[in-house]
Every structure is written in C-alpha cells, then in structure tokens.
Amino acid sequence: MQHAATAPRERGWRWLVLAIVATLLATIAPMWPPALALMAAVVRLALPIEQLAVLALVPLGACAVIGWWSGGRSSVAVLAVGLVGWLVLKVPLPATDYGTFVRGWSLALSAAFGLVCLASQNRPFLGRALASVALAAAVAAIGAGAQGPRSGSFAGPIQVLETDYQRRLHESLTSWKGRTESGAWQSFSSKLPLVAERASRVAEQLELLAGSEDLRRTSTMVLLSPALLALESLLALALGWASYHRLARTRIGPPLASIRDLRFNDQLVWGLVVGAILVALPNLSAFRVAGFNLLCFFGALYALRGVGVLSWWIPERAALALLLVLVVLVFVLGPVLVLTTIVAVCFGVGLSDTWRDFRAPMRVR
C-alpha cells in the first residue's frame, strides 16, 4: 500500500455546485412541470441512464477506496462505500430489466475506474476515464454476448433501452399534450403562433428520434446509445472525481483542469477517421452503426475541446452577452438550427486545434 501525499481541499465550489444542481435537475426531469415537458423529453432521451445522479455517486465510492489504498483513512472509505451501496440499492428504479441495467453498468463503471486508477496513478483524469469506459464497455459486451444465440448477440440490451425510451417519450408527450389542451396554451398560441408551431415540430421530431411503438424498428436514439452512454459515463466520473478531491485530503491524481485548458492526445482523431470510413464506404455498411457511434463520441469530445478554445478567446462578460443572444435566437430561429450551429462551430474549432494549437501563443505570453 502506497502512501499518497495529502493536500488542502480544493477550492472553487461554484462550478461543481452548478454541475451537481444540473445533475439533480436532469435526474428529476420526469417530474418537471408540463410547460417544460418537451425540454424534459430531450434530456431524458439524451441520457441512456436518466438517473444521472446514481451514475455519478458510484465513482465517488470508488475514489474513496482508492484514497484509502493510497494512504487515506479507512473510515472514510468504509463510510463512502456503505453510503453509496445503500443509495444504489434503495434508489427507486423501474422494476424492469432497465433497473438491473442501471445498477449493473454503474457498478461495472466504478470497478473499472478503480482498477484503472490503481494501475495508472500518474495519468491525468481524462485518460483514466476513457480507459475505464472502454473496460466497462468490454465487460458489458462480453456479458451481452454470453446470453447465447437465443436472444441474439446484443438484442437484450437494445430491447431494454428501446422499451424504456418509449416509456419516457410517452410520459413526456402525454404531459405536453395536456399542456397544449389548456386554456393558457390556447391563448399563448393565438398570440405567438410561430413559437407554438415550432414547439409542435419539436414534439414530432422527438417522436421520430425515439422511434415508433413498433419495437421491431430500432430507434435512432437507441442506435446511438453506446456513444451517449460513454459520454454520460465520462460526465459521471468527472463529477465523482471532483467531489472526492473537495471532500477528502488524500489525492489520488491530478485535479481536474478548467474547461479552457481541456486538451487530449491528438491521436484520438483516428476515432473520427475510422468512424467516417465506416459510414462512408458502402461495402462496410454492416458496421455503419458503429461508425455513427464513433463519430458521435469523438465528435462530442472535439466539440468540448472547441468550447475550451472559445473560452480562451471570449471574455466572461462577452460570453454572458453571447449566451443571452443565443437564448433569443432559439425563439427566433428554433432550437434545432441554433444548437446544430453551435455544435458545428465548436467541433470545427476543436478539430482545428489538433493541428493549429490555438492556445499555445497565449501560454507563451
């Protein structure tokens, strides 16, 4: 057992508290008021595991165990593991295979993160998190494939997610339809028919993304669920890592860098290249879904890197003004066009940073 150096608790709770609040809000999206039902549906469809708070709690227990192994207090590890285990077992989840899937993936991700951290104590967080998600995905794939030819290789997890996506969409759209039938909405739509029409279009697009009630036709969101689950898992690991280092004095690795300093190995660009090849070549059509997942996952990473570059360029006050402008444009141009433009710009900047390294001159100064 190695003895790790201790350090004062990290400062800077503002962004962590905001992230925790956002995590809790995403977790309780099913309880949002009917006026926000469409927004809740978007959140619920974007997160394969909609209980994001549960997914973020389990890595906290893993970090506590690693801290004890590195020389921290055993009482902290025992308390953290006991509390996290009790919450994972007692948290209300649907009494279906989906609930089993949530608990299984949470524990697999936590165990993988613990093993990776013990094997690579000097690596930065992102490298550990990527390796942990890959290891957990390999274990999950082996488990799904071991179900035998009776259910077909990955038919079990796909069926579980398809059914749960239909449940989420039905709940949110039912709440939204109840809102549109109210007198307040009728008065609002008569005054602002363009906004009401765009809201109806968003509801239709959500139905297309989540698929039809015919479960023989796999929906777009389920096909992209591996990439979305990997991204959600990275977010959960980051929350657990940041929370641990603010609650405990034993460090188990470097602190999380600011988003403006986010960078990673440039060799990850090959994930985008392989994904584009699998999607573009007709003779590889059998692997097209895998290609789309690679593009979704690595594209999101590079878009996040682009956000970091833009945060170098744009002062905080200007960023706040720009955010207000974007909120106004959502009502004018519609959320789909605005969000698509933002993601495209961030992705382009992040991918260009691989070769240009926009932040290098600023570091020299």
Average pLDDT over residues 294-309: 92
> How many percent of the chain have pLDDT more than 70?
87
Would residue 10 be called left, alpha or beta, if left means φ above 0 and alpha means ψ between -120 and 50 degrees? beta
User: What is the Cβ-side half-sphere exposure of residue 122, based on CA atoms within 13 angstroms?
Assistant: 0
pLDDT attached to residue 130: 93
How confident is the model over 135-164, as pLDDT tens digits?
Answer: 998 888 776 666 544 444 445 677 788 888
Check pLDDT > 80 for residue 192: no
Sequential DSSP letters for 68-105? HHTT--HHHHHHHHHHHHHHHHHS---TTHHHHHHHHH
Most confident of 18-32, 71-85, 139-153, 166-180: 18-32
For 258-262, what is the mean pLDDT? 82
Q: Write the pLDDT tens digit of every residue in 198-231.
A: 788 888 777 776 655 544 455 777 888 889 999 9
292 membership: H or E segment, kind and range: helix 288-313
User: Which element (helix H / strand E) includes 242?
Assistant: helix 225-247
Q: Report the pLDDT averaged over residues 100-127.
A: 86
Residue 229 exposed, middle or buried by CB count within 10 Å (0-12, 13-18, 19+): buried
The β-bridge partners of 250 are 6
